[in-house]
Structure 1
Amino acid sequence: MTDTNAAPRAAADAPVFVESEWATLKECVYGSPDAWVLPKFLSDSKLRAQGEHGKFWEQNQGRDVKEVNPELFAEFSSQISGAIKLLEGLGVRVHVAGEISEQNRKFPRGEDHGVQTAWMRDPFVTIGNNVIELAPRSYFHRRQRFAIREFLGATMDRGARFFAQPDGGADEYVDGTGWGYLEGGDIFVVGRNILVGNSGGCSNPEGARWLQHMLGSDYKVQTVKIDPMFPHLDCVLMTPREGVAIASLEALPEGLPDFMKDWDVHAVPKAMAKAHMACNNLVLDDHTVVVPSEEALNPIADALKSRKFEVIRIPYRVPCMAGGSFRCAHQPLIRN
């Protein structure tokens, strides 16, 4: 059984460092259970909305879910709080996203694009000791940095190199040199190999080019084509251990990167990856993964167990329904 009263995995002044997707999670930023205001329904929203939730989102854009559907919000909040409690009980140091001021909620075009701080994967990434504020393509991701800037800035006192990618400004998308877009859900740290998903709707090759320039020759950054029906690479890929992948191969038109060609890959149907966020789970270390307890994800849990992983199951129905499971909710500061 997993010890949910473990000693802290990271001291408050421990050096920031992420070495891989499967290294032991010791500290992270996690999404907030306290706020959910549906963004204006622009093209960035349409890419993420699906099924009944997509209809709900479109009908209630700009409205606070707490007021529109109190029961749904209560379940949402409870499930996010439960995930935070689990991590803290396992000794993970967790920073919960804060509020975004009224003025910053209007960034960058003077109109409110909602509050999506339950999903904090996208506004930054940690690679090695580099903490990098990203330039997301999505408007509602662009303002998320303001809910965590204090945490990110404090990493400079712990040996981190703190950078910010050039921002995309008020235009929805500009295609040209210097107009790179990156969202954390697209970025995988696989040792010295850095993968950047490219669906055509979020991160782009120019963003990957900037990331390679910023990281230098210590890392190799490469793009991975993904089906445009998915926003991010972590919707179709999980790497819970070196040599093991859970992937929707149907959604990878050019396949996995060459260095993964001999890996043990459990193939996930594209429909399951889309409807149930089947690849978007929480890797605690190279032998432990958290998977939502919904019955539809039993095949994922079974595939992991057959590969000698311990699988922890907790409810996460509403965040998954809204388009982002456990990986979307957190971004590590320490994995080593």
Structure 2
Amino acid sequence: MVASASATVDSPQDQIYVESEWAALRECVYGSPETWVLPVFLSDVKLRAQGEFGEFWANNQGRDVKDAWPELFAEFSSQIKGAISLLESHGVKVHVAGEISAENRKYPRGQDHGVSTPWMRDPFVTIGNNVIELAPRSFFHRRQRFAIREILAATMDRGARYFSQPDGGADDYNEGPGWGYLEGGDVFVLGKDVLVGNSGGCSNPEGARWLQHMLGPEYRVQTVKIDPMFPHLDCVLMTPREGVAVACMEALPEGLPAFMKDWDVFSVPKSLAKGHMGCNNLVLDDRTVVVPSEEALNPVAEALSARQFEVIRIPYRVPCMAGGSFRCAHQPLIRI
């Protein structure tokens, strides 16, 4: 049976739509607290690993963290569950990523490179009513879609236009027309302006070109150069309200886009952005931001408070150690 093209949703509030980074979060996909298998070191992984944890990761590639470091996994799982509970307490509907089958864990090379479903920002993006499965450069991101395929497909009955970007296949990287790469951590929805980060290791200009083609003239897509030591734009930028940004300016060699030139920007140093994910926080709405409770992030919390935001602090130490804080963990389905 063919689904009716006139299928309707119960309420306009249930319709899939993401207006901006600072619109009120109503529904999202969030990372799973159940499974974390350290990705095998390929060129895409080395951008994430750092410090003492980076050494642990390098020495335990492909191992389940439950076995390799049980105490760390317990703290990690507890902190993700805490974030999900916080969202739900604020009325956000949360879909938690499921499992990836044994065979799909081998996609696309017949090798299991690890499972990173605790961070679900990268395999898709929602822009307006467009739900788009992306073509990440990173192998461990490429198979994340299999943990949420049913969630994404269900959006078609709720006003979404559901698309998939051409996949990158089994090669590490290809260049030229048709070889666009996009990862959700690089994509910012600022109304009709859409930013795509370009560090040289993840999303690329060809991916931004494809996104502009797919979205059409209603949107303006532009790339933002990032220091190669950072994988994604959301490692160096947060936009909690129109006209306000938290940014690592020394990691943006060409600065912010021209339309943001008069914004109030709180600049964080590279050490805070890289070592503690200082820009990668969770915007609940244009008045409320969640920041990890670690002491190193106090300056970010204080800067937001000074700009009249309510700042909520909860523990998130371990996900940050692995290179992904609150924004990396979720991808919205409704922000209106």
1:320-335 matches, cutoff 5 A: 320-335=320-335
Q: Which amino acid is the alignment partner of residue 112 of structure 1?
A: D
The answer to whether 1:317 aligns with 2:317 is yes
Gaps of 5+ in 1: 1-9
Instruction: Give deviations 1:105-143, integer Å, cap 9, x for gaps.
Output: 000000001110000000000000000000000000000
Measured after TM superposition, the shift of residue 53 of structure 1 is 1.1
| Mapped partners of 1:313, 1:42: distance in 2 | 34
Instruction: Flag the 1:152–1:13 CA change in 2: closer, same or farther, 3 A.
Output: farther
Q: What count of residue pairs does the alignment treat as equivalent? A: 327
Q: Are 2:74 and 1:69 equivalent residues in the alignment? A: no
- Asked whether the 8 Å contact 1:13–1:158 carries over to 2, the reply is no
Say whether the 8 Å CA contact 1:79–1:316 is kept in structure 2.
Answer: yes
Residue 109 of structure 1: SS of its match in structure 2? coil
- 1:134-174 deviation line (CA, Å, top 9, x unaligned): 00000000000000000000000001000000000000000
Please give the residue correspondences for 1:218-297 in structure 2 after superposition, counting only pairs within 5 Å. 218-297=218-297
SS at match of 2:66: helix
Q: Does 1:108 align with 2:108?
A: yes
> Which runs of structure 1 show a deviation greater than 6 angstroms over 4 or more consecutive aligned residues?
10-13
C-alpha deviation, 1:13, in angstroms: 7.7
- The 3-state SS of whatever aligns with 2:116 is coil
CA–CA distance in structure 2, aligned partners of residues 150 and 25 of structure 1: 21
In the alignment, is residue 144 of structure 1 matched against residue 144 of structure 2?
yes
Q: Which residue is 1:161 aligned to? A: 161
TM-score by length of 1: 0.96
Please give the secondary structure, in 1, of the residue aligned with 2:259: helix
- Aligned residue number for residue 215 of structure 2: 215
User: 1:39-85 CA distances to partner (integer Å, 9 max, x unpaired)?
Assistant: 11111110111111111111000000000110000000000000000
Determine the C-alpha separation between the residues in 2 that align with 1:137 and 1:214: 19
Q: Deviations over 1:250-299 (max 9, x none)?
A: 00000000000000000000111000000000000000000000000000
1:15 CA drift (Å): 0.4
Aligned-residue identity in percent: 80
Query: Which position in structure 1 is the counterpart of 2:193?
Result: 193
Q: Offset of 1:12 from its aligned partner?
A: 11
* Structure 2 letter corresponding to 1:128: G
* Post-superposition offset of 1:92: 0.2
When normalised by structure 2's length, the TM-score is 0.96
- What CA RMSD, in Å, does the superposition of the two structures yield over aligned residues? 1.0
Matched letter for residue 266 of structure 2 = H
CA contact (8 A) 1:177 1:206 kept: yes
Change (3 A) 1:63 1:288: same
Residues in 2 aligned to 1:251 and 1:86: alpha-carbon distance in whole angstroms: 31
Aligned residue for 1:7?
none
Name the counterpart of 1:308. 308
Unaligned runs of 5+ in 2: 1-9
